[in-house]
Amino acid sequence: MTARHNYRYYDFVMAGFVTVLICSNLIGPAKIAQIEVPVMGVLTFGAGVLFFPISYVFGDILTEVYGYSRARKVIWAGFGGLAFASFMATVVVALPPAPFWKHQGAYEIAFGNTWRIVAASMFAYFCGEFVNSYVLAKMKIWTAGRWLWTRTIGSTIAGEAVDSALFYPLAFYGTGIIPDEKLPLVMTAQFVAKVAVEVVLTPVTYRVVGWLKRAEREDYYDRDTDFNPFTLKA
């Protein structure tokens, strides 16, 4: 692979990706929201579903502008950030509370996810993000760089499908938290909602991608890329 120049904004995009990823996984899942939508009626969903798809937008931007190998580093950075955040939450929740501190119960609800849910979330994220990046990189070559919207939406459909199909059965099957017979419905609803966020944000993705390509003087095509997810070689 040919050497690439130093980028002015790559580190900022990586920081944004990791921030959104950790916040959507640590803050969002603790709250179940319910809103009434015209025509569709009452929708019930985990609050994190509104923000987690933004990590896929960042993933699309990274792969589209910088290429798969640069996106691969960011995906691993996000995985490391999630691992540490989960470890820290476990330790902090387990620490004995002071007698005068009366919020341990609320803290456990907010940050006390079981290791099964944490492990399922991290595994699903790892697989979904790499599928998203791989599909976008390949579609960019197939479309000769045209029709960006087909790549961003198409890769998100593939990545989110893998993420949802892995996370919900691994995290909840047989636990009783979500009835087993309801899992397919929950998976489908979350998948549709996440893809819808990507579609809504497509105009923003277009603007950011166009600006970054001009600013970085980069529009990378993964023609000779090693797509092995277990290497950090750029």
Q: Does domain 10-216 have CATH number 1.10.260?
A: no
Which pLDDT tens digit goes with each residue over 13-38? Answer: 999 999 999 998 888 776 777 888 78
Q: Give the confidence band of 4 by pLDDT, cuts at 50, 70, 90.
A: low
Residue 1: predicted pLDDT: 43
- pTM as predicted: 0.91
Q: Over range 43-56, report the average pLDDT.
A: 82
- For the range 27-33, what are the long-range contacts, defined as Cβ-Cβ under 8 Å and sequence gap of 24 or more? 28/52, 29/113, 30/109, 30/110, 30/111
The mean per-residue pLDDT over the stretch 102-126 comes to: 89
Q: Euclidean distance between the first and final Cα of the chain, in Å?
A: 8
Q: Check pLDDT > 60 for residue 2.
A: no
Q: Does 141 score more than 80 pLDDT? A: yes
The amino acid that residue 32 corresponds to is: I
- Distance CA(84)–CA(90), nearest Å, equals 10
| Residue-level pLDDT at 177 | 77
Count of residues in the chain: 234
Domain ranges (residues) in the chain: 10-216
Single out the residue of 162, 168, 137 nearest to residue 151, CA to CA: 137
pLDDT in tens, 52-96: 889 999 999 999 999 999 999 999 999 999 999 999 999 999 999
